[in-house]
Structure 1
Amino acid sequence: MKKISFALIFISLCYTAMAQVNTHTPATRTIFAYGGQFTKPFMRYVIALTKKQNPRICFLPTATGDNAATIVSWYEVCQDLPMQACVQKTFIASYTEPKTFEENLLSMDAIIVSGGNTLNMLAIWKAQGIDTVLRKAYNKGIIMAGGSAGSLCWFDGGTTDSRPKNLAIIHGLAFIAASHCPHYQSEPMRKPLYFDNILRGRLSPGYAIDDLAGVVFENEQFVRTVAIDDKSHAYYVSVVDGKIDEKMLPVAEIIK
């Protein structure tokens, strides 16, 4: 009888463990793309998205060439916020870095990508394997965020000023299956070029975002628009009956 009882207990424990595994909720994949540069309100919103107290948030300034002034500005913006601010440079040497890119980035609660040269940033990420690490971080539920180059990188593609003379089409990491246009209202050449590229099929339909607005995606689906003021918006731009269709996405929250 004791042997039978032990066997029943063992089987029961196994079923309980399997049930716990089967009911495990997958991490929510979240991207917060804003149209311009990082600001204190945007960082407060990222902190809220992590749903953690004093989250670890890493700034990835690759697109600026790890510009010192940009890094200083990042620390100044974050210095009085309830977060642990850090920076992951890519212009480094082995003997100054005790952790790999993967070890450091996967230990974060959120990753903020700077503005700058999108094309150079993506090339460096690919050479260093950071593009693969960011995919792992995204799938793990680490918040992905950024503006300008830092928002463009998450989408299928968009236009960039990374090359001389004219804005050029660029292909991003494609976490979101849509195109993107940052600086939508602040840079006059952006909007007509975005319309033309979508109309001609060079870019897929997508999301255009003003500098002081942001869009949240969860599990690759649009969730909400937020803005720092009531004059800033985000839009979904597509083609309907052979013409450009621009739909303003209602702002769910004004963030401060």
Structure 2
Amino acid sequence: MLPGNTSPVIINYKLLKLRKIYLAILLFSCCFSGMAQQSGTTAVTRTIFAYGGNYNKQFMRYVIALTKKKDPKICFLPTATGDNANYIIAWYAACEELPMRPYVQRVYVASYTDKKTFEENLLSMDAIVVGGGNTLNMMAIWKAQGIDTVLRKAYNKGIVLAGGSAGSLCWFQGGTTDSRPKDLSIVQGLGFIQTSHCPHYHSEPLRKPLYFENILKGRLSPGYAIDDLAGIVFENEKYVRSVAVDEKSNTYFVSVIDGKVDEKLLTVREILK
């Protein structure tokens, strides 16, 4: 080192130090990325498609699209109708000629005939569609059979969850149901979406006024109301978009503002074909 000429050495030292820091950061990033890939911690999108009424070909095409897979495996859960045979036949008919592989998961089964668990079957699917019917009975059976826990695992795994009527109500905190004699009553859902929900919003006259009353009195939290031929997509528990089969069907967010019920019409982004 020459006296009085230290600047070039200092500059090179600084550059060397920065280079070491850069290489250390790069090495750490590569190691972290490799560990993430080995542990399978890739980003997962949790998706729910809730529609107000029964399934149809338009809704099923949309479920297929949401899986982002070719020829996806889609399983129907007809628990709310007690695994009704006619309902299952109608499901297979709705899936005819669609680019998917339809399955049905019955709950009225026996160990002698069914050699795979509910978890093994459901977690092998690309999407799970829940049918309508008696919501209270369905929720009780799911809890007894552990299917509620399996559906949570499916949701966290990124398997698309869908359904209408009881099959949409189940994903929310709760809502009104016709599962008991005489009057509509409140039922608790799985709570994947932390709001209330009202299916059949305009097709059944008692639904809307009772939904308003329950939200206004605090029995239900603010939430989403859906007409029979409309639906809402949620991703990672957040509202993403509304779709419908026709221009007359809509979705809404119902809340309380200044002590009064507020019904917000949500824009339908797409008319399903």
Tell me if both proteins adopt one fold, taking TM over 0.5 as the criterion: yes
Structure 1 residue 13: deviation in Å?
9.1
Determine whether 1:19 maps to 2:33.
Answer: yes
Name the residue aligned to 1:224: 241
Match of 1:54 among 62, 71, 74: 71
Name the residue aligned to 1:192: 209
For the residue of structure 1 that corresponds to 2:70, the secondary structure is coil
Determine whether 1:252 maps to 2:266.
Answer: no
Name the residue aligned to 1:114: 131
Name the residue aligned to 2:185: 168
Match of 1:91 among 108, 128, 134: 108
For the residue of structure 2 that corresponds to 1:47, the secondary structure is helix
Q: For the residues of structure 2 that align with 1:13 and 1:238, how far apart are their CA atoms?
A: 51
**Cα distance change of structure 1 residues 205 and 15 upon mapping to structure 2, 3 Å threshold:** closer
Determine whether 1:205 maps to 2:222.
Answer: yes
Structure 1 residue 17: deviation in Å?
4.5
Q: For the residues of structure 2 that align with 1:128 and 1:153, how far apart are their CA atoms?
A: 16
Within a 5 Å distance, the mapping from 1:22-37 to structure 2 comes to 22=36, 24-37=41-54
Bigger Cα Rg = 2
Q: For the residues of structure 1 that align with 2:212 and 2:43, how far apart are their CA atoms?
A: 37
Name the residue aligned to 1:128: 145
Q: For the residues of structure 2 that align with 1:166 and 1:17, how far apart are their CA atoms?
A: 60
For the residue of structure 1 that corresponds to 2:205, the secondary structure is coil
Name the residue aligned to 1:149: 166
Structure 1 residue 22: deviation in Å?
4.1
Gapped runs of 5+ residues in structure 1? 1-11
For the residue of structure 2 that corresponds to 1:73, the secondary structure is helix
Name the residue aligned to 1:9: none
Gapped runs of 5+ residues in structure 2? 1-25
Q: For the residues of structure 2 that align with 1:122 and 1:255, how far apart are their CA atoms?
A: 30
Q: For the residues of structure 1 that align with 2:29 and 2:208, how far apart are their CA atoms?
A: 57
Structure 1 residue 217: deviation in Å?
0.2
Structure 1 residue 195: deviation in Å?
0.1
Total equivalences in the alignment: 245
Normalised by the length of structure 1, the TM-score is: 0.93
For the residue of structure 2 that corresponds to 1:132, the secondary structure is helix
The amino acid that maps onto 2:32 is M
**Cα distance change of structure 1 residues 13 and 215 upon mapping to structure 2, 3 Å threshold:** same
Which whole-Å deviations, capped at 9, do the CAs of 1:174-199 have from their partners, x for residues lacking one?
Answer: 00000000000000000000000000
Determine whether 1:66 maps to 2:83.
Answer: yes
Structure 1 residue 26: deviation in Å?
2.0
Structure 1 residue 16: deviation in Å?
3.5
For the residue of structure 2 that corresponds to 1:96, the secondary structure is coil
Structure 1 residue 204: deviation in Å?
0.1
Structure 1 residue 79: deviation in Å?
1.4
Q: For the residues of structure 2 that align with 1:77 and 1:51, how far apart are their CA atoms?
A: 20
The Cα RMSD (Å) is: 1.4
Q: For the residues of structure 2 that align with 1:169 and 1:20, how far apart are their CA atoms?
A: 48
For the residue of structure 1 that corresponds to 2:112, the secondary structure is helix
Normalised by the length of structure 2, the TM-score is: 0.87
